[in-house]
Amino acid sequence: MSIVILSKNYASSSWCLDELVMILKCKSTSEHEVLPVFYDVDPSLLRKQLGSFEEVFARHEGKIESESGERGKEWMSKVEEWRAALREVADLAGMNLQNRADGHESRFINKIIKVVGDKLSRTIMDIGPYAIGIRSRAREIQFWLEDESADVGVAAICGMGGIGKTTIAKFIYNLNFSRFEGSSFLANVREISKQQDGLLCLQRQLVSDILKGRKEKISNVDEGIVKIKDALHFKRVLVILDDVDELDELYAVLGMCDWLFSGSKIIITTWHERLLRPHEVCKVYKIEKLDYDESLELFSLHAFGQSHPVDDFADTSKLVVEHCEGLPLAIKVLGSSLSGQSIGVWRSQLEKLKAIPDSKILAKLKISYDSLQDEHDRSLFLHLACFFVGSDKDFTITIMDECEFYTVVGIQNLIDRGLVTVDGYNKLVIHHLLQEMGREIVCQESPNEPGERSRLCNHKDSLNVLRHNTSARTVFGVNRKRSLEEFLDDSLLSNVWNSLKRYRLGILSQNSVGNPPADSNEITLETNAFAKMENLKLLKLGHVQISGSYENFPKKIRWLYWHGFPFESTPRYFPLEALVALEMPYSSLKHFSAGIKFLELLKILNLSHSHSLARIPDFIVLPNLEKLILEDCISNLRKLPRSVGMLKSLETLDISGCSNL
């Protein structure tokens, strides 16, 4: 900020005039405040350059005649520049000694101090040392802020936890607060509002910020709304509310916003994408995660203090960046924690992250989970994280609705909170760090006894419980289907021979034969391993042999996925009556119909790639079947039962690759 003291003799100094020109150039090219102080000078005389200023400029212009050639032209240009600068500064809002404090200089100086203090008291928000990807993600919001339309603007910055919503809001605030008559950045609204008198604290801070530090007594929320209205009325203000979780928090601070002066801008950051949609004048900006190059640069700056990895750490850096999957919070935390450590520590940390997620990252991500409105949505998220990542949304709804969930509204609530997204193929997508968070929440239900957890979603824990017949009465779902990554990490299958064997088992290629040879290393379990799982509704198996009687097998199973089902027909007492979805891809089935009962609830039947399949059940026993998948059942299946025409509920029939049908 520059304070220009304009006295009667100010223009007589060429040095002062040159300085004024430079100050005004700074004002036009940067966030530089200029306060003119008219010290016994009438601004109108300065603007018109009359009185003493007329005499001074007459002397300046007299020098032009004494200079010849280029020097004369340069001097003439300089005089015109001085005149323009004085006219410009005379038009600025300033302070006039004749009009302030009755001409008493000491009082006038105190007034100047107060004005300067108010103008410079607006605090710049700290956004951290490295703003990688921030400017590009703030561009659209900046365009909206610069819109000079008369409407009051309300905008929401949305996205999952750790994506950078608060950082972008601070960046936007720093760029724009000086353009408004008043501004306020209210941080941690959700957290503060839950404290005693938290809403009152937020209201008092807002009033104080807008009134340049003046304190107002506020006794209750309703009184606070009135005082905020008085403070903000007829002012163009910028207000940012960071981390808003409920509309009540917004209304308590700003009321309904309909009385705000035109040109004012309100920005909130929130996990809740649909929080502001009832407002007609509302923009929603969803923040996207960093791309790979941005992620690697941000990680390198935190880990090495430079924009690219050190040579010896290049490969490991890429693995860490891939683990973070574009989440700035995770990139910063891991980059800072690994900085200065040896390559051995880096590799050990990567291995640890596969088993134990970073606590700082999980704590931040868990906020969105904890903020879900009820236990229904929290439980649904855990089911999705453990069993349905990558599954079709409609398929998941079909199963979970039969498990007494209100799945459509539940998934929408999870989408609104940034916990789940749906891709262009209608698949459920969960950021893998959020998926790890969900699985860790399940693990913490019983850290040392997996059988006491509500879900078994880690293949090693599942195997341990099933092999040792551990008490597991509370288990709702079991996931024993191992991913390709888990197979590759298994030390028992690390040599070349076992890699070839895995290929023969159909793990590496969907085109390989799905029926395992008799001497394969499939896991063998007893049916009584499931006997205590009275509440089991979701069961996902892969390349597992189960021997024994199915008479005591859990009867409440709604979804059974068994990759590589090893039997030629369904065993006696096989629990099918409660099934909503039965999936047996790459099975050894020849006769699915043997001993089958009336399956009124079954809506999805997937027997794809079952190359030995010769017969499927009469559809009379499947009256509500909606989806039948027989893809690539090419061997002996010659025709569909005539009763297929009776299936009025059938929506999907996939017989691709079945050349004999």
Choice among 19, 88, 216, 577 that is catalytic:
19
Phi, psi of 135 (to 5 degrees): -60, -45
Q: Which two tokens stand for residue 151?
A: 């409407």
- What DSSP letter does each residue of 99-150 carry, written as one string? TSGGG-HHHHHHHHHHHHHHHH-SPPPP--S--TTHHHHHHHHHHHHT---S
Give buried/exposed letters for 168-189 (b at 16+ CB in 10 A, else e): bbbbbbbbbbeebebbbbbbeb
Give the C-alpha separation, 588 to 569, whole Å. 8
Q: If you ran DSSP here, which 8-state letter would residue 392 be given?
A: B
Phi, psi of 240 (to 5 degrees): -120, 125
- What DSSP letter does each residue of 70-110 carry, written as one string? HHHHHHHHHHHHHHHHHHHHHTS--EETTTSGGG-HHHHHH
- Tell me the residue type at 485: E
Give the C-alpha separation, 97 to 40, whole Å. 6
Helices and strands counted in the chain (H then E): 23, 20
> 582: part of which helix (H) or strand (E)?
strand 581-583
Report CA dihedral (471, 477, 483, 487) to the nearest 10 degrees.
Answer: 10
Pick from 625, 540, 616: which is nearest to 580 by CA?
A: 625
Pick from 244, 249, 296, 293: which is nearest to 271 by CA?
A: 244
Give the C-alpha separation, 203 to 251, whole Å. 11
Tell me the C-alpha to C-alpha distance, in Å, between residue 50 and each of 7, 53, 56, 97, 121: 13, 5, 10, 19, 37
3-state per-residue secondary structure call for 223-286:
HHHHHHHHHHCCCCEEEEECCCCCHHHHHHHHCCCCCCCCCCEEEEEECCCCCCCCCCCEEEEE
Sequence-distant (≥ 6) Cβ neighbours of residue 343 within 8 angstroms: 312, 313, 316
Pick from 227, 283, 213, 221: which is nearest to 250 by CA?
A: 221
Q: In this structure, is the dihedral angle defined by the CA atoms of residues 404, 408, 413 and 417, taken in order, positive or negative?
A: positive
Asked if 404 is an active-site residue, the reply is: no
Q: Is 413 exposed, middle or buried (0-12, 13-18, 19+ CB in 10 A)?
A: buried
- Tell me the residue type at 536: L
Pick from 281, 56, 1: which is nearest to 151 by CA?
A: 281
Tell me the C-alpha to C-alpha distance, in Å, between residue 430 and each of 290, 320, 350: 16, 19, 21
- Tell me the residue type at 660: N
Give the C-alpha separation, 431 to 330, whole Å. 12
Q: Which two tokens stand for residue 125?
A: 């928000």
Q: Residue 519 in 3-state DSSP?
A: coil
Give buried/exposed letters for 463-482 (b at 16+ CB in 10 A, else e): bebbeeebebebbbbbbbbb
> 355: part of which helix (H) or strand (E)?
helix 343-355
Q: Residue 523 in 3-state DSSP?
A: strand
- Return the active site residues: 19
